[in-house]
Amino acid sequence: MRKTLAAMALLVAILALSEGCAPVPLPHYAAWGPRRADELLVDSENLRMIGDEWERFWFLDQPSHLTPFRTHGGLGP
């Protein structure tokens, strides 16, 4: 029974380390300068566009129908 539990614990530890769940965080960006610059540009572009996506999702990018002039809502002049 102990061997089975030890084998299962070892298997879980190996899977956790291989799946990116390591307790020590690994570097997010590359060490090579040009590649790191490309990764930073991609990340900043994604973060910049999330505001546009948020406005599109909540229909905030539509034109406003509020006018400074009073309208009656009917057709005609």
Q: Confirm whether 41 is domain-assigned.
A: yes
Q: Confirm whether 74 is domain-assigned.
A: no
pTM, to two decimals: 0.38
- Domain extent, residue 52, equals 30-63
Looking at residue 71, what is its pLDDT? Answer: 64
Looking at residue 26, what is its pLDDT? Answer: 67
Q: How many domains does the chain have?
A: 1
d(CA 52, CA 50): 5
Q: Confirm whether 69 is domain-assigned.
A: no
Q: What is the largest CA-CA distance in the chain?
A: 88
Looking at residue 38, what is its pLDDT? Answer: 87
Q: Confirm whether 15 is domain-assigned.
A: no
Q: Confirm whether 8 is domain-assigned.
A: no
Q: Confirm whether 51 is domain-assigned.
A: yes
Q: Tens-digit pLDDT profile for the chain (77 aa)?
A: 888 988 998 888 777 666 655 556 667 788 888 898 888 888 887 777 887 888 888 888 776 667 666 666 666 55
d(CA 5, CA 13): 12
Looking at residue 25, what is its pLDDT? Answer: 63
Mention every residue, 6+ apart, whose C-beta is less than 8 A from residue 30. 36, 39
Q: Confirm whether 68 is domain-assigned.
A: no
Q: Confirm whether 44 is domain-assigned.
A: yes
Enclosing H/E stretch for 40:
helix 33-57
